[in-house]
Amino acid sequence: MKQQDIFGVDSLHEECGIFGVYDNGDNLDVSRLTYYGLYALQHRGQESCGIAVNNRDENGKIQIVQYKDMGLLQEVFNELVLKELQGFAAVGHVRYATAGASRRENAQPLVSRYQKGSFALAHNGNLVNVAQIRKELEEQGAIFQTTNDSEIIAHLMAKERIRTNSTAEAVMKIMTEITGAYSMIIMTPQRMVVARDPQGFRPLCIGKIKNSWVFASETCALDSVNAQYVRDMEPGEVLVVDKEGLHSYRDMCGQKTSLCVFEYIYFARPDSVIDGESVHRARLNAGKFLAKESPVEADIVIGVPDSGLDAALGYSYESGIPYGVGFIKNRYIGRTFIQPTQAEREAALRIKLNAMRESIAGKRVIMVDDSIVRGTTCRRIVTLLREAGAKEVHVRISSPPFLNPCYFGTDIDNRDKLIACQLSVDEICERIGADSLAYLSIHAMQNLAPNCRLGCCDACFTGNYPVYVPEEDNR
Amino acid sequence: MKQQDIFGVDSLHEECGIFGVYDNGDNLDVSRLTYYGLYALQHRGQESCGIAVNNRDENGKIQIVQYKDMGLLQEVFNELVLKELQGFAAVGHVRYATAGASRRENAQPLVSRYQKGSFALAHNGNLVNVAQIRKELEEQGAIFQTTNDSEIIAHLMAKERIRTNSTAEAVMKIMTEITGAYSMIIMTPQRMVVARDPQGFRPLCIGKIKNSWVFASETCALDSVNAQYVRDMEPGEVLVVDKEGLHSYRDMCGQKTSLCVFEYIYFARPDSVIDGESVHRARLNAGKFLAKESPVEADIVIGVPDSGLDAALGYSYESGIPYGVGFIKNRYIGRTFIQPTQAEREAALRIKLNAMRESIAGKRVIMVDDSIVRGTTCRRIVTLLREAGAKEVHVRISSPPFLNPCYFGTDIDNRDKLIACQLSVDEICERIGADSLAYLSIHAMQNLAPNCRLGCCDACFTGNYPVYVPEEDNR
Amino acid sequence: MKQQDIFGVDSLHEECGIFGVYDNGDNLDVSRLTYYGLYALQHRGQESCGIAVNNRDENGKIQIVQYKDMGLLQEVFNELVLKELQGFAAVGHVRYATAGASRRENAQPLVSRYQKGSFALAHNGNLVNVAQIRKELEEQGAIFQTTNDSEIIAHLMAKERIRTNSTAEAVMKIMTEITGAYSMIIMTPQRMVVARDPQGFRPLCIGKIKNSWVFASETCALDSVNAQYVRDMEPGEVLVVDKEGLHSYRDMCGQKTSLCVFEYIYFARPDSVIDGESVHRARLNAGKFLAKESPVEADIVIGVPDSGLDAALGYSYESGIPYGVGFIKNRYIGRTFIQPTQAEREAALRIKLNAMRESIAGKRVIMVDDSIVRGTTCRRIVTLLREAGAKEVHVRISSPPFLNPCYFGTDIDNRDKLIACQLSVDEICERIGADSLAYLSIHAMQNLAPNCRLGCCDACFTGNYPVYVPEEDNR
Amino acid sequence: MKQQDIFGVDSLHEECGIFGVYDNGDNLDVSRLTYYGLYALQHRGQESCGIAVNNRDENGKIQIVQYKDMGLLQEVFNELVLKELQGFAAVGHVRYATAGASRRENAQPLVSRYQKGSFALAHNGNLVNVAQIRKELEEQGAIFQTTNDSEIIAHLMAKERIRTNSTAEAVMKIMTEITGAYSMIIMTPQRMVVARDPQGFRPLCIGKIKNSWVFASETCALDSVNAQYVRDMEPGEVLVVDKEGLHSYRDMCGQKTSLCVFEYIYFARPDSVIDGESVHRARLNAGKFLAKESPVEADIVIGVPDSGLDAALGYSYESGIPYGVGFIKNRYIGRTFIQPTQAEREAALRIKLNAMRESIAGKRVIMVDDSIVRGTTCRRIVTLLREAGAKEVHVRISSPPFLNPCYFGTDIDNRDKLIACQLSVDEICERIGADSLAYLSIHAMQNLAPNCRLGCCDACFTGNYPVYVPEEDNR
Predicted confidence at residue D414, as pLDDT, reads 80
Mean pLDDT of chain B: 91
Q: Is A114 within 8 Å of B138 when comparing Cβ atoms?
A: yes
Predicted confidence at residue A192, as pLDDT, reads 97
Q: What is the CA radius of gyration of chain B?
A: 23
Check residues C281 and B7 and name the one with the higher pLDDT. Answer: C281
User: Per the annotation, does A369 bind a ligand?
Assistant: yes
Closest chain C C-alpha to D262 CA, distance in angstroms: 33
CA separation for the pair D70, D48 (Å, rounded): 4
Closest chain A C-alpha to D383 CA, distance in angstroms: 13
Q: Which CATH class is domain A278-462?
A: alpha beta
**Cα-based angle B107, B109, B110 (whole degrees, multiple of 5):** 85
Predicted confidence at residue C3, as pLDDT, reads 29
Position A56 pLDDT exceeds 90: no
Position D466 pLDDT exceeds 70: yes
As a whole number, mean pLDDT of residues C311-333 equals 96
Question: pLDDT digits over D117-155, tens only?
Answer: 999 999 999 999 999 999 999 999 999 998 888 999 999
The total number of residues written for chain C in this structure: 475
* Chain A, nearest residue to B162 by Cα: A141
In A12-141, DSSP assigns E strands to 16-22, 48-56, 62-70, 89-95, 110-114, 117-127
Q: Choose the mutation target among A145, A146, A159, A188 for the interface with B, i.e. most B CBs under 10 Å.
A: A145
Check residues A250 and C84 and name the one with the higher pLDDT. Answer: A250
Q: Is the peptide bond before B109 cis (omega within 30 degrees of 0)?
A: yes
Position D391 pLDDT exceeds 80: yes
Check residues D181 and C413 and name the one with the higher pLDDT. Answer: D181
Question: pLDDT digits over A296-314, tens only?
Answer: 999 999 999 998 999 999 9
Q: Given CB atoms, is D464 within the 8 Å cutoff of chain C?
A: no
CA separation for the pair B450, D69 (Å, rounded): 60
CA separation for the pair A408, A406 (Å, rounded): 6
Question: pLDDT digits over D202-249, tens only?
Answer: 999 999 999 999 999 999 999 999 999 999 999 999 999 998 899 999
Predicted confidence at residue A55, as pLDDT, reads 86
Closest chain D C-alpha to C107 CA, distance in angstroms: 11
Annotated binding site of B for Mg(2+): 307, 369-370
Q: Given CB atoms, is B320 within the 8 Å cutoff of chain A?
A: no
Mean pLDDT of chain A: 91
CATH fold, domain B277-462, is Rossmann fold (3.40.50)
As a whole number, mean pLDDT of residues B264-276 equals 96
**What residues in A contact D280, CB-CB < 8 Å?**
325, 356, 358-359
Predicted confidence at residue B22, as pLDDT, reads 97
As a whole number, mean pLDDT of residues D335-355 equals 73
User: Per the annotation, does A429 bind a ligand?
Assistant: no
As a whole number, mean pLDDT of residues C332-354 equals 73
As a whole number, mean pLDDT of residues B228-238 equals 98
CB A414 within 8 A of CB A372: no
CA separation for the pair A233, A248 (Å, rounded): 10
pLDDT category at D253 given cuts 50, 70, 90 is very high
Q: Smallest Cα–Cα separation from D199: which of D282, D140, D258?
A: D258
Check residues C97 and D445 and name the one with the higher pLDDT. Answer: D445
- Cα within 13 Å of Cα(B166), Cβ side: 14
Position A8 pLDDT exceeds 50: no
Predicted confidence at residue A57, as pLDDT, reads 79
Q: Given CB atoms, is D358 within the 8 Å cutoff of chain A?
A: yes
Closest chain C C-alpha to D145 CA, distance in angstroms: 5
Given the candidates 3.50.50.60, 3.40.50.1860, 3.40.50.2020, 3.90.950.20, the CATH classification of the domain at C276-462 is 3.40.50.2020
Active site residues of B: 16
Segment 141-170 of chain D within 8 Å of chain A by CB: none
Check residues C287 and D470 and name the one with the higher pLDDT. Answer: C287
Predicted confidence at residue B344, as pLDDT, reads 61
Collapse the DSSP code of B227 into the 3-class scheme (helix H, G, I; strand E, B; otherwise coil) and give the result: coil
Phi, psi dihedrals of residue A241, rounded to the nearest 5°: -115, 130
As a whole number, mean pLDDT of residues D269-297 equals 98
% residues pLDDT > 70 (chain A): 93
CA separation for the pair D326, D169 (Å, rounded): 53
Q: Which residues lie below 8 Å from residue D369, measured CB to CB, with a gap of 6+?
A: D303, D304, D307, D308, D378, D381, D395, D396, D397, D398
**What residues in A contact D358, CB-CB < 8 Å?**
271, 273, 278, 280-281
Q: Smallest Cα–Cα separation from D150: which of D180, D187, D109?
A: D109
* Chain B, nearest residue to A85 by Cα: B101
Question: pLDDT digits over D397-410, tens only?
Answer: 999 999 999 999 88
- Which chains touch B (3+ CB pairs under 8 A)? A, C
Chain CA centroid to CA A148, Å: 16
Predicted confidence at residue B105, as pLDDT, reads 81
Q: Choose the mutation target among A28, A223, A318, A350 for the interface with D, i.e. most D CBs under 10 Å.
A: A223
Q: Is B32 within 8 Å of C340 when comparing Cβ atoms?
A: yes
Position C12 pLDDT exceeds 60: no
**What residues in D contact C101, CB-CB < 8 Å?**
63-66
In A57-178, DSSP assigns E strands to 62-70, 89-95, 110-114, 117-127
pLDDT category at B1 given cuts 50, 70, 90 is very low
Closest chain C C-alpha to B60 CA, distance in angstroms: 26
Predicted confidence at residue C102, as pLDDT, reads 44
Chain CA centroid to CA C468, Å: 22
Q: Smallest Cα–Cα separation from B439: which of B403, B389, B385, B390?
A: B403
Query: Hey, where are the domains in chain B?
Result: 16-257, 277-462
Q: Given CB atoms, is A309 within the 8 Å cutoff of chain D?
A: yes
In D57-143, DSSP assigns E strands to 62-70, 89-95, 110-114, 117-127
What number of other Cβ atoms are within 10 A of residue C262's Cβ? Answer: 26
Q: Side chain identity at B440, as an amino acid letter? A: L
CB D227 within 8 A of CB D207: yes
Mean pLDDT of chain C: 91
Predicted confidence at residue D99, as pLDDT, reads 41
Q: Given CB atoms, is B324 within the 8 Å cutoff of chain C?
A: yes
Position D101 pLDDT exceeds 50: no
CA separation for the pair C147, C73 (Å, rounded): 22
Q: Is A111 within 8 Å of B145 when comparing Cβ atoms?
A: yes
Predicted confidence at residue D412, as pLDDT, reads 75
CB B401 within 8 A of CB B420: yes
Question: pLDDT digits over A222-243, tens only?
Answer: 999 999 999 999 999 999 999 8
Q: Give the β-pairing of A364-369 and A392-397.
A: parallel
CA distances, A177 to each of A133, A255, A468, A472 (Å): 8, 15, 13, 19
Question: pLDDT digits over C105-122, tens only?
Answer: 888 999 999 999 999 999
pLDDT category at C334 given cuts 50, 70, 90 is confident
Q: Is the dihedral of CA C250, C252, C255, C258 positive or negative?
A: negative
Predicted confidence at residue C339, as pLDDT, reads 64
* Highest-scoring range by mean pLDDT, B464-468, C58-62, D59-63: B464-468
Predicted confidence at residue A336, as pLDDT, reads 65
Q: Which residues lie below 8 Å from residue B27, measured CB to CB, with a gap of 6+?
A: none
Q: Is the dihedral of CA B275, B276, B280, B285 positive or negative?
A: negative
D185 forms beta bridges with D122, D194
CB C325 within 8 A of CB B309: yes
CA separation for the pair D473, D475 (Å, rounded): 6
Chain CA centroid to CA A306, Å: 15
Q: Is D358 within 8 Å of A273 when comparing Cβ atoms?
A: yes
Predicted confidence at residue D98, as pLDDT, reads 52
Predicted confidence at residue C378, as pLDDT, reads 95
CA separation for the pair C8, C14 (Å, rounded): 15
**Cα-based angle D100, A36, D350 (whole degrees, multiple of 5):** 75
CA distances, B165 to each of A180, B160, B171, C171 (Å): 36, 9, 11, 84
Q: What is the largest CA-CA distance in chain C?
A: 74
Position A414 pLDDT exceeds 90: no
**For the packed helices A130-139 and B149-163, what is the interaxial angle rounded to 10 degrees?**
90
Q: Given CB atoms, is B80 within the 8 Å cutoff of chain A?
A: yes
**What residues in C contact D157, CB-CB < 8 Å?**
143
Query: CATH code for B16-257?
Result: 3.60.20.10
Q: Given CB atoms, is C78 within the 8 Å cutoff of chain D?
A: no
pLDDT category at B342 given cuts 50, 70, 90 is low
The number of helices, as runs of H, and strands, as runs of E, in chain A is 17, 23
- DSSP assignment of B281-330 equals HHHHHHHHHHHHHS----SEEEE-TTTTHHHHHHHHHHH-PPB---EEE-
CA distances, B65 to each of A3, A47, B50, B109, D243 (Å): 18, 18, 11, 11, 53
CA separation for the pair D258, D409 (Å, rounded): 13
Q: Given CB atoms, is D27 within the 8 Å cutoff of chain A?
A: no
Predicted confidence at residue A1, as pLDDT, reads 25
Q: Is A1 within 8 Å of B140 when comparing Cβ atoms?
A: no
CA separation for the pair B349, A104 (Å, rounded): 38
% residues pLDDT > 70 (chain C): 93
pLDDT category at A102 given cuts 50, 70, 90 is very low
Mean pLDDT of chain D: 91
CATH fold, domain D281-454, is Rossmann fold (3.40.50)
Q: Given CB atoms, is B47 within the 8 Å cutoff of chain C?
A: no
pLDDT category at A99 given cuts 50, 70, 90 is very low
Q: Is C273 within 8 Å of B42 when comparing Cβ atoms?
A: no
CA separation for the pair C218, D43 (Å, rounded): 49
Question: pLDDT digits over A345-367, tens only?
Answer: 667 788 899 999 999 999 999 99
Q: Smallest Cα–Cα separation from B215: which of B94, B62, B68, B92?
A: B92
Q: Is A143 within 8 Å of B113 when comparing Cβ atoms?
A: yes
Where does residue A363 rank: exposed (0-12), middle (13-18), buried (19+ CB within 10 A)?
A: buried
Torsion-angle region of B99 (φ positive above 0: left; ψ -120 to 50: alpha; else: beta): beta
Q: Choose the mutation target among D1, D143, D177 for the interface with C, i.e. most C CBs under 10 Å.
A: D143
CA separation for the pair A404, A461 (Å, rounded): 6
**What residues in C contact B322, CB-CB < 8 Å?**
317
CB D311 within 8 A of CB D368: yes
Question: pLDDT digits over C53-107, tens only?
Answer: 998 877 888 989 999 998 899 989 988 889 889 999 999 999 986 544 346 788 8
Q: Is B223 within 8 Å of C39 when comparing Cβ atoms?
A: no
CB C19 within 8 A of CB C221: yes
Q: Give the β-pairing of A89-95 and D117-127.
A: unpaired
Question: pLDDT digits over D357-373, tens only?
Answer: 999 999 999 999 999 98
Question: pLDDT digits over A28-42, tens only?
Answer: 999 999 999 999 999
Q: Is B155 within 8 Å of A141 when comparing Cβ atoms?
A: yes
**What residues in A contact B82, CB-CB < 8 Å?**
none
CA distances, B169 to each of A138, A160, B163, B249, C368 (Å): 19, 32, 10, 9, 53
% residues pLDDT > 70 (chain B): 93
Predicted confidence at residue C337, as pLDDT, reads 66
CB A143 within 8 A of CB A167: no
